């Protein structure tokens, strides 16, 4: 794993094995991520039903919360995709 020095954000060059390991979560980690998604979803439900009456601050918080949910779902989706690819690869090797 090599760090990309020229990036404004820290990023890493990962081998296929490293990328798979990075997105492999155990059941407890998946449950923790899902709990975070549920907590953010509850925050969204607490926001005023009439979106036109939201203050700028409430709109920002809503967007931030939705972004957090999307990011966490991306992690779980990526883990699913890699797990399926790994299963398919294993079945082809047999």
Look at residue 15 and tell me if it is in a domain.
no
10-28 pLDDT per residue, tens:
888 899 899 999 999 999 9
Domain span holding position 38: 24-93
Residue 52 inside a domain? The answer is yes
Distance of CA 94 to the CA centre of its chain: 32
Q: Is the pLDDT of residue 3 over 60?
A: no
Q: How many domains does the chain have?
A: 1
- Does any domain span residue 10? no
Is 6 contained in some domain? Answer: no
Q: What is the pTM of this model?
A: 0.78
54 — pLDDT class (breaks 50, 70, 90): confident
**Is 55 inside a domain boundary?**
yes
């Amino acid at each position: 794993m090599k760090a990309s020095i020229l990036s404004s954000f820290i990023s890493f060059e990962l081998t296929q094995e490293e990328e798979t390991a990075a997105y492999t979560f155990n059941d407890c980690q998946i449950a923790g991520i899902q709990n975070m998604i549920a907590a953010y979803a509850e925050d969204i439900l607490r926001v005023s039903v009439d979106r036109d009456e939201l203050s700028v601050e409430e709109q920002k918080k809503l967007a931030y919360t939705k972004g957090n949910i999307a990011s966490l779902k991306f992690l779980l989706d990526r883990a699913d995709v890699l797990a399926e690819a790994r299963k398919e690869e294993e079945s082809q090797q047999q």
